[in-house]
Structure 1
């Protein structure tokens, strides 16, 4: 069974109405976007704690952990270079450069000092453009907002059948066409990841080794070139597998009479129970608390407060 597909369970997470778990994703994303970074970190830890109530926890961590790590690395690196110098100075009081880039890169939005600043190995430089420690810290803080939303979204995928997600969206008043499109968008991410793993495993089985053969610059450059070439080949395979899966979904929807009638019936009726109402009340209270905290000085995300 694929690690990226729904696997049934007996805990309360699997018995919750899908609408509650959808609301969880919305509330976590909203509160994380409105409040200071450490509140987002608390939300992230809380959502990750819920994974203890899923089946095959270790296997699911093999999926969540790389995504979280990739988000930390990518977001922190990107934000560290494009964060405006004036905002970093406002938030941290001082800014320390790690490395300086050519001044022409300031046109791309790279962080540029307003005046003279010290750069290691270069001394004091007028209006340097480059990477800063405060930018890296800010990027790490910003990442907590995205990983909290990612963890909540994956929790929905892991603990809910796709058909139940579609039914819950339609029961909430969303047009079935839009709900079906959203369901495909959510389910396509695990499928693309699965196709990526299949492709990479196939390359490894054929003897592909992306590690440099030696420590010389020529060996490193050769390994980098091979990596780019194999990544491009893998992308073609992933696109083909994704399109093939999309065709199969379209055929299945056509065979089952999707949109044949505006009045849809359901094999299993979905009804809210007491635990669902309790979950909704808790999430609404969390949303109200997030809105309140966003207006407290030092706890909100505006203006540009990490």
Structure 2
């Protein structure tokens, strides 16, 4: 199915809004199923979702444990003396946090089903300043760059003979904390190189820009946008009323 990039932007906004609004694993799993179905419709390989999420599995597990321990609840599963450490409500809260991250990440992958030029052009035709549209695009493009830098740093550590799977969790967390600096530093270097390239090509040299083509809504775009907005509003109203 071929839709206008702005239609897909509306769909992403609706999916992420629902993901932020719902707090139960069942509801979030339903939204995730809808998101994966949309990715398949737009010819996105479901296996690629795992590739995007795999580097962040340790972080998700850490968030799940933290939320499970520090979220209060009445149904205690494990306690130390009179202090409850693990509750059913805490595990539900931890699962909801992880699923929310997965849903938002999967919804953001809809942006990869059209070109970056169409993304900027769609925002500009929505009267968004070109500079702001470009900043949003760069922020989205730097997420995979940050992921790749993290993979490169972890690979460099493994090539030095460190088997991360055998490292205790306490030492592993300390190691990832030390690896954060080179990852951020290398990402900042890439950002500086991008800024130099933008200045060399005359970014913001003129107050207005011209475009070779224009995006146009079709009937299917109006139908999908109206249906997405209507379903989101109905679900939001039903969530807050019931």
Q: Shared fold (TM-score greater than 0.5)?
A: yes
Tell me what 2:164 maps to: 210
Q: How much does 1:73 deviate? A: 2.5
Counting only pairs closer than 5 Å after superposition, residues 15-30 of structure 1 correspond to structure 2 as 15-30=2-17
RMSD, matched Cα: 2.8
Counting only pairs closer than 5 Å after superposition, residues 157-236 of structure 1 correspond to structure 2 as 158-212=112-166, 225=171, 227=172, 231=176, 234-236=179-181
- Matching residue within 247, 254, 259 for 2:199: 254
TM, length-normalised to structure 2: 0.84
SS of match in other structure, 1:295: helix
Tell me what 1:144 maps to: 99
Counting only pairs closer than 5 Å after superposition, residues 38-49 of structure 1 correspond to structure 2 as 38-49=26-37
User: Which is richer in helix?
Assistant: 2
Larger Rg: 1
Q: Note closer, same or farther for the CA distance 1:241–1:180 as it changes in structure 2 (3 Å cut).
A: same
Alpha-carbon distance in 1 for matches of 2:224, 2:64: 33
Q: How much does 1:47 deviate? A: 0.4
Contact 2:23 2:93 in 1 (8 A): no
Which string of whole-angstrom CA distances, capped at 9 and with x for unpartnered residues, describes residues 179-237 of structure 1? 2222222111111001112222333344332343xxxxxxx66x964x46753564343
- Matching residue within 225, 229, 241 for 1:280: 225
Q: Note closer, same or farther for the CA distance 1:229–1:147 as it changes in structure 2 (3 Å cut).
A: closer
Counting only pairs closer than 5 Å after superposition, residues 84-163 of structure 1 correspond to structure 2 as 85=72, 88=73, 94-100=74-80, 122=81, 125=82, 128-156=83-111, 158-163=112-117
TM, length-normalised to structure 1: 0.68
Contact 2:3 2:220 in 1 (8 A): yes
Aligned residues: 241
| Residue ranges of structure 1 left out of the alignment (5+ in a row) | 1-11, 89-93, 101-121, 213-219, 298-306
Contact 1:80 1:139 in 2 (8 A): yes
Q: Note closer, same or farther for the CA distance 1:228–1:139 as it changes in structure 2 (3 Å cut).
A: closer
Q: How much does 1:272 deviate? A: 1.8
